[in-house]
Amino acid sequence: MENFKNKIAVVTGGGTGMGRELVRQLAAEGCHVAMCDVIQENMDETFEIVSKECPNIKVTKHICDVSDEEQVLKFRDEVIDQHETSVINLLFNNAGIGGGGSFVEGSREEWERCFAVCWYGVYYCSRAFMDYIVASDEGHIINTSSVNGFWATLNGVPHTSYSAAKFAVKGFSEALIDDFKVNAPHVGVSVVMPGHIGTSIAENTGKILGGERSDEDYEKTKQDMIKMGLPVHNFSIEQIKDQIRENAESFKNNAPTSSAEAAEIILSAVKRKEWRVLVGEDAKAIDGWVRKSPEDAYNINFNGERRGE
């Protein structure tokens, strides 16, 4: 797929971050886009931006919780109807949230919610749109995994649900390579493994998981921070809340790779038909450390140095 002009793309999680930038950059190249998100205000903002930037491109917006197959099928039917098409060229399974860190002490509901969005969202959307991808002359599925799809930690912090889902996404994507070679040789697949990208995933996760957190929940967060070595022993609950907000802002604003840069890397890789897409120098470095010494993978930190354990 040398270019995206006049192609039709589906992008999940298009409301913010990499999803928004994928929609913007695809439209800028003349690609018609159907995007979905579960947060209306985010998606409306993306839609307004892209409509102004690319007024001659057809962009449609759809509310969809990708962890719910019934909603995914409704989304698919809306896309086919509104774009008046029998084919889809590109499917970006990009939607994702965090949460479900500890399998031992965490909430089962939160664990399963994160896993459902990050894995079943990919599965349900791939099932729903597969026939339309195969029906195209040129088709490509792009699944967003993570560095946590091959390194299941956040520098020593439990990260079980998200990591399990992202490992599943990576394995599924790799398995599709041979499946497509045999059964749909005109269709490609890419698995995207970003490192630290400037997105609003932390903020969006809080909105999606919903519910007011109790003081007891924040106290548990405080104890987790202390276990990580953070000097918050004397922090009040209000200070812990402020710290969480500051961490989310810092994650978005101080990332080594922006969402726009990440989207550009992904789209360039799709044009080159690359199946394995590491996004960011940090992702490349972590991949190198894990491959060099897999037995030692969980004894190293983000800088490739051995942890003081």
Task: Please give the structure tokens belonging to residue 53.
Answer: 């930037």
Secondary structure letter of residue 307 according to DSSP: P
Q: Is the pLDDT of residue 209 over 70?
A: no
Position of tokens 């695809």?
A: 26
Strands of 59-63's sheet, edge to edge? Answer: 59-63, 32-37, 8-12, 90-93, 139-144, 187-194, 276-279
Q: Are 169 and 144 in contact (CB under 8 A)?
A: yes
Strands 90-93 and 139-144: parallel
The phi and psi torsions of 272 (rounded to 5 degrees) equal -90, 0
Under 8 Å CB-to-CB from 79, ≥6 apart: which residues? 10, 34, 60, 62, 88
Q: State mean pLDDT over 189-201.
A: 86
Domain assignments of the chain as residue spans, ordered by start: 8-199+257-299, 213-254
CATH topology of domain 8-199+257-299: Rossmann fold (3.40.50)
Q: Is the pLDDT of residue 249 over 80?
A: no
Amino acid 158: pLDDT: 87
pTM for this one?
A: 0.88
Secondary structure letter of residue 103 according to DSSP: T
**Secondary structure of residue 84 in the 3-state scheme:** coil
Amino acid of residue 104: V
pLDDT, tens digit, 9 for 90 and up, residues 37-78: 999 999 999 999 999 999 999 999 999 999 999 999 999 999
Amino acid 245: pLDDT: 67
More confident residue, 42 or 252: 42
Q: Judge residue 148's burial from the number of C-beta atoms within 10 Å of its C-beta, 0-12 exposed, 13-18 middle, 19 or more buried.
A: buried
Amino acid 238: pLDDT: 80
pLDDT, tens digit, 9 for 90 and up, residues 215-245: 776 676 666 666 656 677 777 878 776 666 6
CA–CA gap between residue 242 and residue 251 (Å, rounded): 14
pLDDT, tens digit, 9 for 90 and up, residues 95-129: 999 988 899 988 899 999 999 999 999 999 999 99
Amino acid of residue 295: E
The phi and psi torsions of 32 (rounded to 5 degrees) equal -80, 140
Q: Length of the chain in residues, anyone?
A: 309
**Secondary structure of residue 63 in the 3-state scheme:** strand
